[in-house]
Chain A
């Protein structure tokens, strides 16, 4: 176990290292000198030089890289060009909103996906199966942002739901309960968007996992023993199908991030995705760089967690 553990952790750290290097060099080598981002025709040559000194751009590249790594280690991601505040502070504020949204959407989509996927496999070849299959494929093919727009269009005009944001602007609340009710109203449509789009993938996956297990000999054995079909499903098929599902959920987090960016843009949800889009529009490179790093590292660790969880659930992988 310990060998497997060390290997996995080692690869995760190596990947983080790769991302850090990539992140540094992308923003240095590619066209887009950070000093140019603070562009203003009134700037004199001296003040441009001062900006370069301030951001450490006058030093040789290797030195800049070491400084960057040292600052990272201290949790210093630089200062936002636009807001003149530490990038780390801005990101942490938005991180919680994104986690709230992704968390709710992920849990709901997994539950929905498992239920639909098992039902489809169980009733394989029937109208339930085809319905679930076509629905999931359609959800897979649907752009998340577009589905969100349609829901927003319909929900804000027909249901009177808020058009975006996290809280009603200028509202004051008598209790935390009222405040959360308002947040809930704002979260409803983004969460539904997210849930439906991602449930499609989980349904497809769960369905094929259960079908694979139905083809195993031990299912035939269980049937020959005279066990009731439902019993077979519950005791033999479901448990084994849950195994790969755990992994797929964690591995999907990378794509989950894409969904979060799209949903946040459509519903003006003040999260990391919104931060990234805004920072591109404002050419706020420190924020963009920090947000990318934070997202990539989160996904890497989610994957590591999945690997470890999988090896805990299925001891066979530790041996190979």
Chain B
């Protein structure tokens, strides 16, 4: 679609812009963490009885944690871990889901049947228990975390890409390209992929938010990388090391709000982008002036309504 048109309709969709700004702030904080953070997260703190869970003060705006470290500093550096896991895991998901969706949609027939059945089967198996089992067997650590979240998060992408590929495949220019002797791979690369890619990008935004939620949940359950303080890991330490009984709300509340901030930003952005790329008349006969309809992500057949679910990033 023309460039101008895109930005126009994107900006008309206020929620999408708000989501974009929220995400941009989080990314900026992650990138410029050393400039923003009041302390160096790696300095060793001499722990005394006074600086364990000490309340917010002029020195520590958000108080200190169980190890006497500044919560605000941890929070700022935590953005890095959460976002890195989110981006890399969703990249894996996109590559797998995109490939499966493209191949299934383009070749059709038996290939499509097998691939989509596999997708359906994986879609039904509950995510979190499988993630827990995989981490229990593979061990802890950031690369493993990225890997397992990535290889389980592609089902939604595969479905979206497949249905888009199906519709592009039947277009005139694809048939013409075939008529003048273009090979399958050439057609996929030059004609189909460019038209499927925008949709994948929209999907990516939602996959990232699911990956970030998954990372924080796993970290909270004690399955994260214990050496890297993600927001989920901060909450795990706070929960298991007595922040509740110490009344240290400052080490409980901020990490959760940070997760909500990023996930909400991504969700709003994803819904906004979807509306731009997939504009449908969102009017109904009983109300006028219904400006904003943030519907749950697209549905392919009755089954995919599960997309409203928490861990599917469709």
By a CB distance below 8 angstroms, the chain A residues around B222 are 277, 280-281
Q: In the complex, what's the smallest C-beta–C-beta distance from A206 to chain B, in angstroms?
A: 10
Q: Which of A138, A149, A288 contacts B136 (CB 8 A)?
A: A288
By a CB distance below 8 angstroms, the chain A residues around B309 are 201, 251-252, 254-255
Q: Which of B135, B136, B235, B310 contacts A146 (CB 8 A)?
A: B235
Q: In the complex, what's the smallest C-beta–C-beta distance from A58 to chain B, in angstroms?
A: 21
By the criterion CB–CB under 8 Å, are A280 and B136 in contact? Answer: yes
By a CB distance below 8 angstroms, the chain B residues around A125 are 287-291
Q: In the complex, what's the smallest C-beta–C-beta distance from A216 to chain B, in angstroms?
A: 8
Q: Which of A26, A141, A254, A257 contacts B306 (CB 8 A)?
A: A254
Interface segment among B61-69, B125-133, B160-168, B178-186: the answer is B125-133
Q: A215 to B216: give the CA distance in the assembly, Å.
A: 39
By the criterion CB–CB under 8 Å, are B217 and A145 in contact? Answer: yes
Q: In the complex, what's the smallest C-beta–C-beta distance from B300 to chain A, in angstroms?
A: 13
By the criterion CB–CB under 8 Å, are A149 and B305 in contact? Answer: no
Q: In the complex, what's the smallest C-beta–C-beta distance from A150 to chain B, in angstroms?
A: 7
Interface string of B203-224 (1 = CB under 8 A from A): 0000001000100110011110
By a CB distance below 8 angstroms, the chain B residues around A259 are 310
Q: Which of A144, A214, A251 contacts B305 (CB 8 A)?
A: A251
Q: Which of B125, B209, B263, B294 contacts A133 (CB 8 A)?
A: B294
Q: How large is the interface on B (under 10, 10 to 19, 20 to 34, 35 or more residues)?
A: 35 or more
By a CB distance below 8 angstroms, the chain A residues around B302 are 244, 247, 310, 317
B45 on the interface (CB 8 Å rule)? no
Residue of A133, A163, A248 with most chain B CB atoms under a 10 A cut-off: A248
Q: Which residue of A lies closest to B293 (CB)?
A: A211
By a CB distance below 8 angstroms, the chain A residues around B213 are 141, 143
Interface segment among A43-51, A78-86, A181-189, A294-302: the answer is A294-302
**Which residues 120-137 of A have a CB within 8 angstroms of B?**
122, 124-125, 130, 133, 137
Dominant SS at the B interface?
Answer: helix
By a CB distance below 8 angstroms, the chain B residues around A262 are 217, 220-221
A103 on the interface (CB 8 Å rule)? no
B176 on the interface (CB 8 Å rule)? no
By a CB distance below 8 angstroms, the chain B residues around A303 are 124
Residue of A150, A255, A283 with most chain B CB atoms under a 10 A cut-off: A255
By the criterion CB–CB under 8 Å, are B310 and A261 in contact? Answer: no
By a CB distance below 8 angstroms, the chain B residues around A257 are 126, 128-129
Q: Which of A30, A141, A292, A317 contacts B130 (CB 8 A)?
A: A292
Q: A144 to B284: give the CA distance in the assembly, Å.
A: 34
By the criterion CB–CB under 8 Å, are B128 and A149 in contact? Answer: no
By the criterion CB–CB under 8 Å, are B244 and A153 in contact? Answer: yes
Q: A183 to B221: give the CA distance in the assembly, Å.
A: 24
A291 on the interface (CB 8 Å rule)? yes
Q: Which residue of A lies closest to B122 (CB)?
A: A18
By the criterion CB–CB under 8 Å, are A208 and B295 in contact? Answer: yes
By the criterion CB–CB under 8 Å, are B308 and A215 in contact? Answer: no
Q: Which of B117, B133, B293 contacts A26 (CB 8 A)?
A: B133
Residue of A157, A251, A283 with most chain B CB atoms under a 10 A cut-off: A251
Q: A35 to B117: give the CA distance in the assembly, Å.
A: 35
Q: Which of A27, A205, A258 contacts B128 (CB 8 A)?
A: A258
By a CB distance below 8 angstroms, the chain B residues around A299 are 124-126
Q: A143 to B136: give the CA distance in the assembly, Å.
A: 22
Interface string of A14-47 (1 = CB under 8 A from B): 1100110010001100111000000000000000
By the criterion CB–CB under 8 Å, are B137 and A27 in contact? Answer: yes
Given A201-B309, A258-B310, A261-B129, does the pair A219, B264 have CB atoms closer than 8 Å? no
**Which residues 272-293 of B have a CB within 8 angstroms of A?**
281-293
By the criterion CB–CB under 8 Å, are B308 and A205 in contact? Answer: yes
B247 on the interface (CB 8 Å rule)? yes
By a CB distance below 8 angstroms, the chain A residues around B267 are 137, 140-141
By a CB distance below 8 angstroms, the chain B residues around A30 are 134, 137-138
Q: A229 to B252: give the CA distance in the assembly, Å.
A: 46
Q: Which of B125, B139, B220 contacts A145 (CB 8 A)?
A: B220
By a CB distance below 8 angstroms, the chain B residues around A149 are 235, 239, 244, 252, 256
By the criterion CB–CB under 8 Å, are B129 and A296 in contact? Answer: yes
By the criterion CB–CB under 8 Å, are B121 and A258 in contact? Answer: no
B303 on the interface (CB 8 Å rule)? yes
Q: In the complex, what's the smallest C-beta–C-beta distance from B281 to chain A, in angstroms?
A: 8
B25 on the interface (CB 8 Å rule)? no
Q: Which of A26, A130, A214 contacts B286 (CB 8 A)?
A: A214
A88 on the interface (CB 8 Å rule)? no
Q: A122 to B286: give the CA distance in the assembly, Å.
A: 8
By the criterion CB–CB under 8 Å, are B284 and A211 in contact? Answer: yes
Q: In the complex, what's the smallest C-beta–C-beta distance from B267 to chain A, in angstroms?
A: 6
By a CB distance below 8 angstroms, the chain B residues around A261 are 128-129, 132, 221
**Which residues 117-175 of B have a CB within 8 angstroms of A?**
117, 120-121, 124-130, 132-139
By the criterion CB–CB under 8 Å, are A280 and B310 in contact? Answer: no
By a CB distance below 8 angstroms, the chain A residues around B136 are 32, 280, 283, 285, 288
Q: In the complex, what's the smallest C-beta–C-beta distance from A312 to chain B, in angstroms?
A: 13
